[in-house]
């Protein structure tokens, strides 16, 4: 196989890497159609970058061979499946070809592990060096940090990338040992995340390729080994606090034939959705973990948005006066996000908001907000819109 054919062969694996992928709906139908056309040929995902830009992102691997025996993984060692590997110069040339053809304007580069994490990390770094220095590749690069990578390797990867990540897979040592028996939570996975933040804090940003250190993130496998939503979000909050990760990705477990977990049921898709909603509340809406409602078994309510669940408990009896609320109060109202809250605050220079239709003009989902607010001291009379907002 040539390099492009090898990259095509990776398509069956790359759905397991969430990366920066987003779902497109509604007015993006044309983009969806084009994306499906591209994905039929190459593992390309529509991705939302840390700066909000949306691009077609090539999600690929240095090799699909792997010496690890992760119990859920489609390319675990010993599994009968097609394998392929690319040398760094092959991979870099293929990435540039796809970029020049307009197929992908960024690359997410991961790898199976061959001859240990250090050797594998060297190949990933070599690919990025060729892209940046031989081809002067200007586009987005997300590099995966391999388990057990050394500090100097992490530093070099961070000099070349826009984002780096290492998959914790489980929220603690117990979960990880069931998912990936050959990996160690602290030494191989948590330590590299700590080193990423240490490098950011102790080295000038001018050493990075565009004068700013890359963001970092991690990913968890959800629903295979009995971890709770509380376990996942507690670990995520600790990572945000101590290691400044930009976000966590939650990958729903799906059974793979010829693996030890092939007979386990797939995870409920709504669980992943609720985890993301709770994560954004913690990161962007100034909620703390104590404000998120969990069941006695440590799980989020699959039937209810966690922001709505909080509002029903706290705001139903004590609704928030829109004309007096500060930013922190506004963003806790269902249907109001950070940008809309800022618009509401700025609008007060010109008078009070007295009608719910005025809120709709700001982009407020009045269907969600109406039960939890006051307008000039009165609960708004709410008439559901004819069409969905």
Give 169's strand partners.
Answer: 220
By the 8 A CB rule, do 350 and 331 touch?
Answer: no
Average pLDDT over residues 61-70: 95
If pLDDT is split at 50, 70 and 90, which confidence band does 290 have?
Answer: very high
* Count of Cβ atoms closer than 10 Å to residue 142 Cβ: 25
List the one residue out of 132, 141, 181, 136 whose CA is nearest residue 164. 141
What does 239-250 look like in DSSP terms, one character per residue? HHHHH--SEEEE
Residue 79, domain member (yes or no): yes
Domain boundary among 164, 199, 221: 221
**Do 68 and 197 reside in the same domain of the chain?**
yes
38 in the same domain as 145 = yes
Domain-terminating residue out of 182, 198, 221: 221
- Alpha-carbon gap, residue 381 to 375, rounded angstroms: 10
Q: Which two tokens stand for residue 272?
A: 């992943």
| C-alpha span between 310 and 288 (Å, rounded) | 12
* Angle subtended by helix axes 229-243 and 191-202, to nearest 10: 30
Confidence of residue 385 (pLDDT cuts 50, 70, 90): very low
Mind listing the pLDDT tens digit for each residue in 209-240? 999 999 999 999 999 999 999 999 999 999 99
Residues 12 and 155 in one domain: yes
Q: How many domains does the chain have?
A: 2
pLDDT of residue 387: 44
Domain presence at residue 241: no
CA nearest to 172, candidates 106, 250, 212, 228? 228
How high is the mean pLDDT of the chain? 91
In the sheet with 163-165, reading across from the earlier edge strand, the strands are 44-48, 54-61, 106-110, 140-144, 163-165, 215-222, 247-252
pTM of the model: 0.90
Residue 183 to residue 71: CA distance in whole angstroms: 11
Are 139 and 106 spatial neighbours (Cβ–Cβ below 8 Å)? yes
CA 158/CA 208 separation, integer angstroms:
7
Mean pLDDT of 289-298: 97
In a domain, 240, yes or no: no
Same domain, 7 and 149: yes
Exposure string of 45-65, with b = 16+ CB inside 10 Å and e = fewer, is: bbbebeeeeebbbbbbbbbbb
Residues 206 and 72 grouped into a single domain: yes
Q: What is the CATH number of the domain that holds 26?
A: 3.20.20.70
- Any alpha helices (H) in 206-332, and if so which ranges? 229-243, 269-284, 306-314, 327-330
What's the average model confidence in pLDDT over 72-97?
A: 94
Looking at the structure, tell me whether residues 192 and 335 fall in a common domain: no
Give the confidence band of 21 by pLDDT, cuts at 50, 70, 90: low
Do 216 and 164 contact (CB within 8 A), yes or no? yes
Strands (E), the chain: 44-48, 54-61, 106-110, 140-144, 163-165, 215-222, 247-252, 320-321, 373-374
Q: Is residue 305 part of a domain?
A: no
* Same structural domain, 217 and 321: no
> What would the pLDDT profile of 161-192 be if each residue is shown by its tens digit?
999 999 999 999 999 999 999 999 999 999 99
pLDDT at 14: 76
| Residue 307 lies inside a defined structural domain of this protein | no
If asked whether residues 82 and 207 sit together in one domain, one would say yes
Same domain, residue pair 346 and 211:
no
Q: What angle do CA 7, 13, 17 make, to 5 degrees?
A: 105
Q: Mark whether 12 and 158 lie in a shared domain.
A: yes
Asked if 217 and 328 sit in the same domain, the reply is: no
Strand 215-222 relative to strand 247-252, pairing: parallel
Stretch 183-212: mean pLDDT: 95
pLDDT, tens only, 134-164: 999 999 999 999 999 999 999 999 999 999 9
142 Cβ contact list (under 8 Å, min separation 6): 19, 20, 57, 106, 107, 108, 109, 161, 162, 163, 164, 165
Does 160 lie in the same domain as 25? yes
The answer, yes or no, to whether residue 43 has pLDDT greater than 90, is: no
Task: Determine phi and psi for 221, rounding to 5 degrees.
Answer: -90, 125
Top-confidence residue, 50 or 356: 356
> Taking 50 as the threshold, does the pLDDT of residue 25 lie above it?
no
Q: What does the alpha-carbon distance between residue 302 and residue 300 come to, in Å, rounded to a whole number?
A: 6
Using DSSP, state whether 305 is helix, strand or coil: coil
What range defines the domain where residue 201 resides?
A: 3-221
Flag whether 106 is in a domain: yes
121 belongs to a structural domain: yes
Please tell me the predicted confidence (pLDDT) of residue 49: 83
Flag whether 280 is in a domain: no
CA 379 and chain centroid, separation: 38
The predicted structure's pLDDT at residue 27: 41
CA angle 156, 158, 159 (to 5 degrees): 65
Domain boundary among 199, 221, 243: 221
The lowest-confidence range among 1-5, 161-165, 301-305 is 1-5
């Amino acid at each position: 196989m040539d390099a492009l054919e090898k990259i095509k062969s990776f398509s069956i694996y790359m759905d397991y890497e969430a990366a920066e992928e987003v779902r497109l709906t509604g007015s993006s139908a044309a983009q969806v159609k084009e994306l499906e056309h591209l994905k039929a040929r190459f593992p390309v995902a529509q991705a939302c970058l840390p700066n909000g830009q949306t691009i077609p992102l090539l999600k690929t691997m240095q090799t699909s061979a792997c010496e690890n025996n992760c119990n859920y993984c489609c390319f675990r060692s010993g599994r009968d499946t097609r394998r392929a590997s690319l040398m760094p110069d092959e991979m870099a040339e293929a990435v540039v070809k796809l970029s020049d053809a307009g197929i992908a304007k960024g690359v997410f580069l991961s790898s199976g592990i061959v001859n240990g994490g250090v050797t594998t990390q060297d190949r990933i770094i070599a690919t990025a060096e060729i892209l940046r220095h031989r081809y002067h590749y200007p586009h987005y690069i997300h590099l995966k940090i391999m388990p057990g990578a050394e500090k100097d390797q992490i530093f070099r990867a961070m000099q070349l990338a826009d984002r780096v990540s290492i998959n914790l897979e489980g929220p603690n040592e117990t979960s990880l040992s069931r998912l990936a028996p050959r990996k160690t939570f602290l030494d191989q996975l948590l330590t590299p995340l700590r080193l990423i933040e240490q490098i950011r804090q102790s080295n000038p940003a001018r050493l990075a390729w565009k004068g700013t250190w890359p963001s970092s993130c991690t990913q968890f496998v959800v629903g295979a080994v009995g971890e709770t939503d509380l376990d996942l979000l507690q670990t995520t909050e600790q990572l945000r606090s101590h290691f400044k990760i930009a976000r966590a990705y939650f990958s729903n477990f799906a059974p793979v034939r010829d693996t030890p977990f092939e007979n386990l049921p797939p995870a409920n898709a709504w669980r992943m959705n609720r985890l993301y909603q709770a994560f954004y509340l913690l990161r962007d809406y100034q909620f703390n973990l104590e404000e998120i409602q969990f069941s006695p078994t440590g799980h989020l309510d699959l039937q209810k948005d966690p922001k709505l669940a909080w509002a029903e408990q706290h705001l139903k009896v004590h609704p928030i006066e829109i004309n007096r609320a500060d930013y922190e109060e506004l963003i806790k109202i269902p249907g109001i996000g950070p940008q809309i809250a800022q618009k509401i605050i700025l609008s007060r220079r010109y008078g009070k908001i007295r009608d719910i239709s005025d809120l709709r003009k700001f982009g407020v989902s009045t269907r969600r907000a109406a039960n939890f607010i006051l307008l000039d001291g009165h609960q708004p009379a709410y008439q559901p819109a004819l069409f969905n907002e």
